[in-house]
Chain A
Amino acid sequence: ETGVTQTPRHLVMGMTNKKSLKCEQHLGHNAMYWYKQSAKKPLELMFVYNFKEQTENNSVPSRFSPECPNSSHLFLHLHTLQPEDSALYLCASRGRGRKAKDTQYFGPGTRLTVL
């Protein structure tokens, strides 16, 4: 149904682990986003990439490291996370026009639990 996929859908990790979240979009978009959403809280924008270049970093701690090898793929590398980092991590992509098809489309998210 969605043109944006995310893996894994669920992840449980310890504070000393290193893991990566993957996002792939099949919509031909050139902007990709990472958001964090804690329980019953609004979306928090983390990173923005336009044409593979990072254009926004909203003061995200360095234990979150994004990577965008091309316009279709986006990764979020995680290391030494804290329990308060447990949340739903959402990836989105967007085109450059003003039509509905060019607004942000979200992947299903990765539900992360840090023990």
Chain B
Amino acid sequence: QLQLQESGPGLVKPSETLSLTCSVSGVSVRGNNYYWGWIRQPPGKGLEWIGSVFYTGSTHYSPSLKSRVNISVDTSQSQFSLRLSSVSAADTAVYYCARFRTGSYSDFWGRGTLVTVSS
């Protein structure tokens, strides 16, 4: 059974880099029909797509975050990661990792992890 589990620090200081990892179990990250991505939800707000990665390492990012985001995949560890640099309080959110089919919809999400940006 597919499981996605986010992990990483729950508190990050302003101007530093937020780093999260999503561990995938129950399916190979090498699937040809899947992208692996990140979505976030600031407190009291809606969902925001951050970006996604294919198992080959090919990435796609939200235009509004592109300058600060890096998503990578480690097929040997069956996980993919998010790095968001120069964070501010506006980056405080619940971060979800998810599997995307054909890059247009997500058929499975992790439970999410809250990351707070504060000194």
Task: Answer whether A and B are interacting partners.
Answer: no
Using CB atoms and an 8 Å cutoff, list the residues of chain A in contact with chain B: none
Using CB atoms and an 8 Å cutoff, list the residues of chain B in contact with chain A: none
